[in-house]
Homo-oligomer: A and B are copies of this chain.
Amino acid sequence: MEKKLIGIDLGGTTIKFAILTLSGEIQQKWSIKTNILDEGSHIVPDIITSLKHHLKLYEMQPNQFSGIGMGSPGTVDLQKGTVIGAYNLNWKKLQPVKDMIESGLGIPFIIDNDANAAALGERWKGAGENDDEVVFITLGTGVGGGIISNGKLVHGVQAAGEIGHLNVEPEGYLCTCGNHGCLETYASATGIVRVARDLAEEYAGPAELKRLLDDGQDISAKTIFDLAKEDDQLAVMVANQVCNYLGLACANIGNLLNPSFIVIGGGVSAAGKFLLDRVNTSFLKYAFPTVRTTTKLKLAQLGNDAGVIGAASLALMIK
């Protein structure tokens, strides 16, 4: 019988699981809450318990799986299968994830960081059309990404794919990384709100976004893009500035790597075609002519499933 894959998407709020066929079809899917108490020490045991429970439920044995793949936040050691510095999991100390899961379940285990796993997912079964040259950008609380070239993830020495820290404005906003003008300071969910507050200060005309901000209401990236779609002038200005930086970053990614697809995902990408069209305009302005005609920008297609699908595809690489 054909073996199956297990994909795990480990996040600060939930842990998502899926059982997939070798060709990437999801057969079962479930999730549990992430218990980050006690320095996150319950997380891996909870994963093992949940997997054991579901294997029993589906009447499946460990030898029916060719492997388990996981995407994790923090700094992942690919060879050793450990994670450190995943602050949203309370994992400050080194976590021997691979050793614990392999000894707990008897199934080979492989791990990579969450953005890389999502990139693999979109590449395999989503907007990446299973191409060998795909870059994935995720616009969420932060901006992250993953790069696939020659069919393989690019890790560099350690931290390749820091797309959120591409510099798009040398004397720009201060970033949490200590630098100024990182893409993330403009194009993450919080960055977009920051741009809105900044532009609102100088903005004089009538605009609902201006009213909401002056009123001290909580606004989100979604509020801003929704208003921009309704032609709120301030919101349009914000969207244009954010998308201009995103397009510049995409152009530089294209000029360097000339991938078939740059796939834009994450919560902010819910702004859809409105966002994509604007990013594309700026991309076309800054991209090298050959890149302009060969690299295509697309919206992500898998939503929340990208993580588990990509994580499962990691398990395909287990020999």
Q: Which residues in A have some Cβ–Cβ distance to B below 8 Å?
A: 133, 147, 149-150, 152, 154-163, 165-167, 170, 177-179, 182, 248, 251-253, 255-260, 285-291, 294-295
- A258 near B156 with CB under 8 A, answer yes
Cα–Cα, bound, A286→B166 (Å)? 8
* Chain B residue contacts of A285, Cβ below 8 A: 179
| Distance, CA A159 to CA B289, complexed state (A) | 10
Contact A295 B255, CB 8 Å, known A177-B288, A179-B285, A248-B167 = no
- Whether the Cβ atoms of A258 and B159 lie closer than 8 Å is yes
* Nearest residue, chain B, Cβ from A75: B290
Q: Indicate if the CB atoms of A150 and B152 lie closer than 8 Å.
A: yes
A157 touches B258 (CB 8 A): yes
A-B contact pairs, 17 of them (CB 8 A): A150-B152, A156-B260, A157-B259, A158-B294, A159-B288, A159-B294, A162-B256, A162-B258, A162-B288, A162-B291, A166-B252, A166-B256, A167-B248, A167-B251, A170-B286, A252-B252, A253-B256
**Residue of B whose beta carbon sits closest to that of A152:** B150
Cβ of A289 and Cβ of B177 under 8 Å apart?
Answer: yes
Contact of B255 with A157 in the complex, beta carbons under 8 Å: no
| Residues of the B chain whose Cβ atoms lie less than 8 Å from the Cβ of A290 | 158-159, 162
A165 touches B288 (CB 8 A): yes
**Smallest distance from the beta carbon of A210 to chain B beta carbons, Å?**
27
Q: A157 to B133, Cβ gap below 8 A?
A: yes
Minimum C-beta distance from A191 to chain B (A) = 16
Interfacial chain B residues near A257, Cβ < 8 Å: 147, 154, 156, 160, 256
CB <8 Å contact, A150 and B147: no
| A157/B260 in contact, CB under 8 A | yes
Q: How far is the CA of A155 from the CA of B158 in the complex (A)?
A: 22
| Distance (whole angstroms) from the CB of A150 to the closest CB of chain B | 5
